[in-house]
Amino acid sequence: MNVADSELVESILVDQGYKSSNDLNTADVIFINTCSIREHAEDKVHSQLGRYELIKKNRPNTIIGVLGCMAQSLKQDILERRSCVDIILGPDSYRRLPDLLNRGKNQPKSLVDTKLSRFEVYDDLFPSRKDGINAWISIMRGCDKFCTFCIVPFTRGRERSRNPLSIIEEAKKAVDQGFKEITLLGQNVNSYLHEDYYFHNLLEAVAKIPGINRIRYTSPHPQDITVELLSTMAEYDNICNYVHLPLQAGSNKILNRMNRTYTKSKFLSLVDLIREILPDVGISTDIIVGFPGETDEDFSQTIDVMNRVKFDSAFNFKYSPRRGTKASEYDDQILERTKQERLQEVIALQKRHTLERNIKLVGTTQTVLVEKESKMSSNHWAGRTDSNKWVIFSKGNVKIKEMTSVYIKKAKGITLHGELIQDLEEAA
């Protein structure tokens, strides 16, 4: 989401005559687009701001701005601790950038605008995208779910959805610019609703745009996964056979305290339904360990769900208390050591499941979108299957951005290794 927002900010700046620069030491303006989701994300911003302080010392006219979620949640802290910061803008205030930049130099220090809007979706602004494979398209902003651990509803405000016509126009533009994959984005992407136009309607409309090889979306909430959505995914080949399904925890007590709106058994039934409608689907998840009050028994329920579902991959996190959220006030916080132990256990288990799931693909032929050179060697490409698994294969005569068929020979770690069908046919 921050990549997409940064592209939006870049397009606003380009309209003002600015050009993007790769050199912090000579830039006139430096903006950092921030995330507050966990303490670790905020720590990274603080260390970055430390660097900018030195730059400002050498070039006092450099304008430094903090944008996004931390601007929203930590403006007081930033104003007090970081004298180098000139501009603080929350995620709904980017339209004010030209105004602030043009007044910047004569104004008293630190211009702040962190008002949240009920309406801002930046509908008429098209992001500035570099040439690439995947175009991120933001379709809705904000979140009304209020999971008790999560700061997003406070930093990004209420849910609002963009007009489908402007989304489709943006998707067509991306295709014309040569993008092969579209990822529809939202904090709660599948609760998209514009008048009586639902997420599955939008997904179908995007799938019908000629020239889009692949469509992905993130991040959904299990509560809003509908049969209509899954059927639409099954119907269109260019909608990837992949669902991100954040579990967070397996125990009903913890799920309830998290305000996740589903139980363990509802989640498991949803997985069954997804696999029934979308055979061979890739399913990933998010897991939080050490939520307040999580006993060993509660944690074992998370492990149990993992063992039953065998997710293809998982993003695993230690619970990180966020100021202002309900869960940060619970008085049964978990010891750091326990969180760390549980995290290790979840990571190790997921590693086994990922390998187990990937081994099932050995001996099959997968359609892969060629995305980049493999880090492993300059003779190999890396690309993803539509179920979102990375495959490494020798380059042959295919090029980046092409769709190609790869025979899967081996699963190792979290990646697959294969060979181009073309090459195999030539050898035969």
CA-CA distance, 312 to 388, in Å (whole number)? 9
What's the CA gap between 405 and 396, in Å, rounded? 12
Using CB distances below 5 to 8 A depending on partner kind, what does residue 224 bind out of ligand SF4, ligand 5AD, none?
A: none
DSSP secondary structure of 353-419: HHHHHHHTTTT-EEEEEEEEE-SS-TTEEEEE-TTS-EEEEE-TT--TT-EEEEEEEEEETTEEEEE
Q: How many CA atoms lie within 13 A of 284 on its CB side?
A: 18
Is 249 a binding residue for ligand SF4 by CB under 6 A? The answer is: no
CB of 231 to ligand SF4, least distance (A): 23
Size of the site for ligand SF4 (CB under 6 A): 10
Which one of 68, 91, 153, 157 is in contact with ligand SF4 (CB under 6 A)? 153
Q: Which does 291 bind (CB under 5 to 8 A by kind): ligand 5AD, ligand SF4, none?
A: none
**Other C-beta atoms within 10 Å of 61: how many?**
9
Q: Residue 163 and residue 168: Cα distance in Å, rounded? A: 9
Q: What angle do CA 221, 10, 17 make, to 5 degrees?
A: 160
Contact region for ligand 5AD (CB under 6 A) — 200-208, 225-233, 316-324, 388-396? 316-324
Please select the residue that binds ligand 5AD; options are 162, 257, 322, 417, rule is CB under 6 A: 322
Supply 282's token pair.
């890739």
CA 416 to chain centre: 23
- Residues 6 or more apart whose Cβ sits within 8 Å of residue 122: 8, 94, 95, 138
Interacting residue with ligand SF4 among 4, 35, 78, 143 (CB under 6 A): 143
**Which of ligand 5AD, ligand SF4, none lies near 402, with the C-beta cut-off 5 to 8 A by kind?**
none
Could you tell me the sign of the dihedral formed by the alpha carbons of 391, 394, 395, 397, in that order? negative
Beta bridge partners of 420: 406
From the list ligand SF4, ligand 5AD, none, partner contacted by residue 37 (C-beta under 5 to 8 A by kind) = ligand 5AD
* 23-42 positions binding ligand 5AD, by CB under 6 A: 37-38
Nearer to ligand 5AD, 30 or 314 (CB): 314
For ligand 5AD, the binding residues in 129-188 under the rule CB under 6 A are 149-150
Which residues does 95 contact at the CB level (< 8 Å), separation at least 6? 12, 120, 122, 125
Residue 317: which of ligand SF4, ligand 5AD, none does it interact with, CB under 5 to 8 A by kind? ligand 5AD
- Residue whose beta carbon is closest to ligand 5AD: 286
Report the residue from 224, 228, 286, 345 that binds ligand 5AD according to the rule CB under 6 A.
Answer: 286
**Does residue 343 belong to the site contacting ligand SF4 (CB under 6 A)?**
no
Rounded to a whole number of angstroms, the minimum distance from the CB of residue 288 to ligand 5AD is: 5
Among 221, 257, 339, 389, binds ligand SF4 (CB under 6 A): 221
Angstrom distance (rounded) from CA 295 to CA 334: 9
Measured CA to CA, the distance from residue 383 to residue 69 in angstroms comes to 32
Residue 384 sits in the site that holds ligand SF4 (CB under 6 A)? no
Cβ closest to ligand SF4, residue 180 vs residue 260: 260
Choice from 246, 282, 383, 418 touching ligand 5AD (CB under 6 A): 246
Q: Is residue 146 close enough to count as binding ligand SF4 by CB under 6 A? A: yes
Handedness of CA 153, 156, 160, 166 (dihedral sign): negative
Which has the closest alpha carbon to 93: 64, 75, 72? Answer: 72
Q: Which does 221 bind (CB under 5 to 8 A by kind): ligand SF4, ligand 5AD, none?
A: ligand SF4
Residue type for 421, please? I
User: And the tokens for 44?
Assistant: 């990274």
Interface ranges with ligand 5AD (CB under 6 A): 37-38, 149-150, 246, 248, 286, 288, 317, 319-320, 322
